[in-house]
């Protein structure tokens, strides 16, 4: 059965272009022009991945509201923001909400389709990783990392990290006890424009996810002005 991709975009030409490009990759696309249309569609069935613009008509933060709603219903759903709002504060807001990616317009349609395929593969590998033991898993104290599924667990409990968060964590734990620079962590994000503040936001999100399963978690240490360090508890 084809994966369902939801596109929420108020510009009809862009919506049509995205729909055509993604449909050609074999996905079932459900396109919506407004937040209300999208919510009605999500009430019928949730997608396997959602692509959201932030500004929809007169609603300047409609995409953020939709993201909250979707992740309340399905916390592990891959969400991509695709928007002209590229200010750092908007990007940080999207990441804090739990989006897997934040892409600026205009965008190559081929790249968008490949990004969708990549995130769906990661999500599928994570689901399979819960059922089978993977030889790619690495153990660092109470932390286990499955590099194929981009899946982390702490004290045996799954930690649902985005792909970007997982890659940053993997860099951080490569040499426990050693400080990892902001520049190294920026490279791990695989994004073109990243600031120290964006890295700090990712790290806060990672910490919060660990603290949900272990209130005493304290392995991620800040190295003021330089970066972060993984300290085994």
Specify whether 9 is located in the same domain as 110. yes
What predicted TM-score, i.e. pTM, was given to this entire model?
A: 0.67
The mean pLDDT of 13-22, rounded to a whole number, is: 96
Count of domains for the chain: 2
pLDDT band at 193 (very low <50, low <70, confident <90, very high): low
Segment 141-156, tens digit of pLDDT = 999 998 777 788 999 8
Range(s) of the domain holding residue 60: 4-124
Same-domain status, 117 and 12: yes
Same domain, 40 and 110: yes
Over residues 81-93, the pLDDT tens digits come to 999 988 878 887 8
Specify which residues 6 forms β-bridges with. 30, 50
- Same domain assignment for residues 184 and 213: yes
Question: Strands 179-181, 227-230: parallel, antiparallel or unpaired by DSSP?
Answer: antiparallel
222 and 150 both lie in a single domain: yes
Q: Does one domain contain both 214 and 152?
A: yes
CATH of the domain at 211: 1.10.10.10
33 and 59 assigned to the same domain = yes
Same domain, 10 and 119: yes
28 or 175, which is more confident?
28
């Amino acid at each position: 059965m084809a994966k369902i991709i939801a596109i929420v975009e108020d510009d009809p030409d862009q919506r049509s272009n995205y729909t055509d490009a993604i449909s050609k990759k074999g996905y079932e696309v459900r396109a919506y022009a407004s937040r209300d249309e999208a919510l009605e569609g999500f009430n019928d069935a949730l997608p396997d991945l959602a692509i959201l613009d932030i500004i929809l008509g007169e609603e300047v933060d409609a995409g953020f509201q939709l993201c909250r709603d979707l992740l309340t219903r399905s916390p592990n759903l891959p969400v991509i923001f695709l928007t002209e709002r590229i200010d750092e504060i908007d990007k940080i807001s999207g990441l804090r909400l739990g989006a897997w990616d934040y892409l600026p317009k205009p965008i190559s349609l081929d790249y968008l389709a490949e990004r969708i395929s990549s995130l769906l593969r990661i999500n599928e590998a994570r689901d399979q990783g819960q059922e089978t033991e993977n030889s790619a898993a690495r153990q660092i104290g109470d932390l286990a990392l499955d590099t194929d599924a981009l899946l982390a667990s702490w004290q045996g409990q799954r930690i649902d990290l985005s792909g970007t968060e997982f890659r940053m964590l993997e860099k951080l734990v490569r040499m426990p006890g050693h400080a990892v620079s902001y520049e190294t962590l920026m490279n791990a994000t695989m994004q073109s424009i990243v600031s120290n503040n964006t890295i700090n936001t990712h790290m806060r999100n990672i910490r919060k996810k660990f603290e949900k399963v272990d209130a005493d978690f304290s392995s991620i240490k800040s190295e003021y002005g330089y970066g972060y360090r993984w300290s085994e508890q």
